[in-house]
Amino acid sequence: MVRVMKSCIQSSLKLMNSIIAILGIVMILYSLCMIKVWQKDAEGSSVDHHNSTFPWFIHAFLGIGISLCASTCLGHFAADTANAYYLSCYMLIIFSLLLIETAIVSDVFINSDWDKDLPDDPSGRFDNFKDFVKSNIDVCVWIGLLILVAQGFSILFALVLRTIQEDEVTSHEFTPSRLPLLQHPV
């Protein structure tokens, strides 16, 4: 019964990881698309305006996508092996991502001038992205909620899997295989 439950939780954790991985892959592909468009714009305009610095927004999008994919790889490995150390590291990483996401979302909702705190984006891609989010706010909210739920369930499944694994280890530690040696007749 425990093996079936463990297998089901491992599969569920892998499913939640797959949802997070899809977001990471989409973010990487979108940032690569933005890099391509930025390079085309840089070739067609003045050298000083576009080539002075690489836009921070593209860096941020690419970095977040890579970190999501890396955490997903760790999550798949942790789910496969059910190792307590890897599960703990995975839970810590996903919890840290949740805290960062919560801080960013709360800053956007509380601070009406949140975009003034960010550096200028010479490529204009951040403004395009902001306009896209404003025009498709319903879809973006549902995608954001899906990601938050997937991360929350990932933490929950990793915690349950870690608990099951620790229970299996402690139940196997105290097997009475050596007790007959203690009662050896003289």
**Domain coordinates in residue numbering, the chain:** 7-38+53-168
> What's the CA gap between 87 and 75, in Å, rounded?
7
Query: Tokens in use for 58?
Result: 């593209």
> What's the CA gap between 146 and 129, in Å, rounded?
20
> What's the CA gap between 101 and 155, in Å, rounded?
15
Regions in the chain scoring below 50 on pLDDT: 50-51
User: Cβ(11)–Cβ(3) under 8 Å?
Assistant: no
pLDDT in tens, 115-166: 777 777 766 777 777 888 788 888 888 888 888 899 999 999 999 999 888 7
- What pLDDT shows up at residue 73? 92
User: Cβ(58)–Cβ(37) under 8 Å?
Assistant: no
> What's the CA gap between 23 and 28, in Å, rounded?
9
pTM of the model: 0.74
Provide the CB-side half-sphere exposure for 107 (13 A, CA). Answer: 12
Closest alpha carbon to 154 in 70, 69, 87, 80:
87
Closest alpha carbon to 162 in 74, 76, 87:
87
- What pLDDT shows up at residue 29? 93
